[in-house]
Amino acid sequence: MNLKLKIWRQKDAKDAGRMVDYNISDVSPDMSFLEMLDVLNEDLNNKGEDPVAFDHDCREGICGMCSLHINGEPHGPDRGITTCQLHMRKFKDGDTIYIEPFRAKAFPVIKDLVVNRSAFDRIQQAGGFISVNTSGNTQDANAIPIQKHNADLAFDAATCIGCGACVASCKNASAMLFVSAKVSQFALLPQGRIEATERVLNMVKKMDEEGFGNCTNTGACEVECPKGISLENIARMNREYLFASLK
């Protein structure tokens, strides 16, 4: 198929940036979206032009590195997948595709479609961990009984890959779905309860400091999240935070 691409080009963090039109032909419907961009870049390379910078790593939906706002939605129009799992068969011959970077004050553009998502790392560092000694006498995990229901919920929360699509889709650029997944995966387990109070206070504080917006419960994040992280996690974080701040 032949496609018309409108891609955000921006030299560096300081450049104003603009949308640039590209035509691409002979795209196979079996290509992934990123492979289509690879073909475009090969073309640009051959012509001596600067290739389009975009993030990617595993290309199988597990690392959370790929991003892109495609035709008005993060990770494109499909549900429950990352951009690297999006296939060109989702588009029709002659389509125009808008490709933009994730937009948020806390995710500044580095170049073209690449944004700096290290704000997520700093939120993690503020409390997204448990402190255990690795001195050799660590307790066997199987010795701690955990309800199946809670184990499942904690596991669901832990499947968040930190891609940032929740922020990108939210009209307030709120990071609540990500932070709530990280809070929940520990809050649901006895190992995580020990530091639960400081964790939720510190992670939310960091989230606010990084300049993410406030949640208005529109639910865009839940729809766009490639891992199906549920809004129930946000409600759980709201409960955790409420009780933590009353302590």
Partner 1 sequence: MAKSALLKSSLGKKYWMALTGLFLCLFLVGHLLGNLQLLSGSKDAALHFNQYALFMTSNPAVKILSYLTYFSILFHAVDGIVLTVQNRKARPKGYVKNNPSANTIWASRNMAVLGTLILVFIVTHMVNFWAKMHFDEKMPLQTVTINAGGTDMEFYLTTNGDYLPKSRVDQNVIEIKNRTEFYDAAAGVKINEGYKDLYKITVAFFKNPDYGLIASILYALAMVVLGFHLYHGFGSAFQSMGVNSPKHSPFIRNFGKAFSIVVPLLFAIIPLYIHFILKV
Q: Which residues are at the interface with ligand HEM (CB under 6 A)?
A: 214, 216-217
Task: Give the footprint of partner 1 on residues 170-189 (CB under 8 A).
Answer: 171-174
DSSP state of 51: P
**What is the dihedral sign for C-alpha 171, 74, 239, 127?**
negative
Buried b (16+ CB within 10 A) or exposed e, 210-239: bebbebeeeebbbebbbbebbbebbebbbe
Distance CA 184, CA 180 (A): 6
Task: Give the footprint of ligand FES on residues 49-68 (CB under 6 A).
Answer: 56-59, 61-66
CB of 76 to ligand FES, least distance (A): 12
Q: Per CB under 6 A, does 113 bind ligand SF4?
A: no
Residue 105: how many other CB atoms lie within 10 Å: 11
Please say which residue, 147 or 214, places its beta carbon nearer to ligand HEM: 214
Distance CA 130, CA 196 (A): 9
Task: Give the footprint of ligand SF4 on residues 75-104 (CB under 6 A).
Answer: none
Task: Give the footprint of ligand FES on residues 66-105 (CB under 6 A).
Answer: 66, 82-84
CA dihedral 74, 127, 151, 231 (to 10 degrees): -40
Among 225, 231, 234, 237, binds ligand SF4 (CB under 6 A): 225
Q: Per CB under 6 A, does 181 bind ligand SF4?
A: yes
Interface mask toward partner 1 for 188-227; x: CB under 8 A: -------------x--xx-xx--xxxxxxxxxx--xx---
Q: What is the largest CA-CA distance in the chain?
A: 63
Look-up of token digits 């051959």: 46
Q: Per CB under 6 A, does 164 bind ligand SF4?
A: yes
Distance CA 196, CA 190 (A): 10
Q: Per CB under 6 A, does 115 bind ligand FES?
A: no
Among 3, 36, 165, 204, binds ligand SF4 (CB under 6 A): 165
Q: Rule CB under 6 A: which residues touch ligand FES?
A: 56-59, 61-66, 82-84
Interacting residue ranges for ligand SF4, rule: CB under 6 A = 160-166, 177-178, 181, 225-227, 229
